[in-house]
Amino acid sequence: MVGDRQGWLRCLLGGAVFVVGMAGTTLPTPLYPLYQEEFGFSELTVTVVYAVYAFGVIGVLLLAGNASDTVGRRPTLLWGLGFAVASAVCFLCADGLGWLYAGRLLSGLSAGLFTGAATAYVMDLAPPGGASRATLVATAANMGGLGCGPLLAGLLAEYAPEPLLLPFAVHLVLALLSAVVVLRLPETVRERRPLSAVRPRWPALPGPVRRVFVPAALASFVGFALFGVFTSVSPAFLARFLHVDNHAVTGLVVALAFFSSTAGQFLVGRVGVSRSLPWAAPCSSPAWRSWRARSPPTCSCSSSWPPSSAAPGRA
């Protein structure tokens, strides 16, 4: 019983570190209208800044996707937290667009290291027989952390001083505290190898999963793309066309999307995988049609996405 409690405490601490790591990746979302006022760039530039993050994630997954299995969970998470700290420093120093690009790239590197390593670490730390509950902890930490980022930034930007500095200063402190937590947790990879053993891994599909990969990949791609468009342009859309200038509300709108995604993933276990994908399309299409209906023809967000009939849902 004591061992189970200790195991779950470690599992929850690992989940908390996961939340902090993922929150940093979405922290700037409600702040982009302020950056637009400060630096004078367009919504198109916002989407480009967002896209830089994806290049960082993909690069890490291809070049060091097996890092946590090779050098260990803790070193990988510490590197991820290091990139998160560096990203926060870039935003704290930002006096031009180049700093935003650098911050988003470093944030992508952090997320690429964190996503797989933190998920595996949470699962490893759970006591025997707790795999299903640990999966829920990892899922909630991942998507919940993505939702906490814009919510935290929006609240601080609206109700605290220095809206372009304080959110990143707070996250920098949280990242440093998370590093202390990681150092106090045990390593779960028994046979570790040096960093030089990490090798690039090109995508490959095992034979048994090839039949289901295409529909699952298409749904995931379209879903993530839909979320990318929503999170990148919704702050500017709310401010310009719905006249919502409260940053806390903007952060909440984006956060609710991530929190709803968490709830949707919990429902998959009850609904079943075979029903989840068909239901995703009717759930997302009305939302996108509503968004487009409210967007004037000149709105960049309505011209940067294909027709809603081509958009199922999101994982």
SS3 of the chain: the string is CHHHHHHHHHHHHHHHHHHHHHHHHHCCHHHHHHHHHHHCCCHHHHHHHHHHHHHHHHHHHHHHCCHHHHHCHHHHHHHHHHHHHHHHHHHHHCCCHHHHHHHHHHHHHHHHHHHHHHHHHHHHHCCCCCHHHHHHHHHHHHHHHHHHHHHHHHHHHHHCCCCCCHHHHHHHHHHHHHHHHHHHCCCCCCCCCCHHHCCCCCCCCCHHHHHHHHHHHHHHHHHHHHHHHHHHHHHHHHHHHCCCCCHHHHHHHHHHHHHHHHHHHHHHHHHCHHHHHHHHHHHHHHHHHHHHHHCCCCCHHHHCCCCHHHCCCCC
Give pLDDT tens digits along the chain (315 positions): 556 888 899 999 999 999 999 999 999 999 988 998 899 888 788 878 888 998 999 999 888 888 999 999 999 999 999 999 999 999 999 999 999 999 999 999 999 999 999 999 999 999 988 888 898 899 899 999 999 999 999 999 999 999 999 999 999 999 999 999 999 999 999 888 988 888 887 777 777 877 888 877 887 788 777 777 777 778 878 888 888 889 999 999 999 988 988 887 777 767 766 666 666 655 655 444 444 444 444 444 433 333 333 333 333
pLDDT of residue 161: 94
Q: What does residue 15 show for φ and ψ, rounded to 5 degrees?
A: -65, -35
pLDDT of residue 281: 57
Q: What does residue 191 show for φ and ψ, rounded to 5 degrees?
A: -105, 90
Which residue, chain included where needed, has tokens 């707070």?
A: 170
pLDDT of residue 218: 82
Q: Which two tokens stand for residue 247?
A: 């940053």
Is the Cβ–Cβ distance between 237 and 141 less than 8 Å? no
Q: What does residue 2 show for φ and ψ, rounded to 5 degrees?
A: -65, -40
Rounded CA Rg of the chain: 20
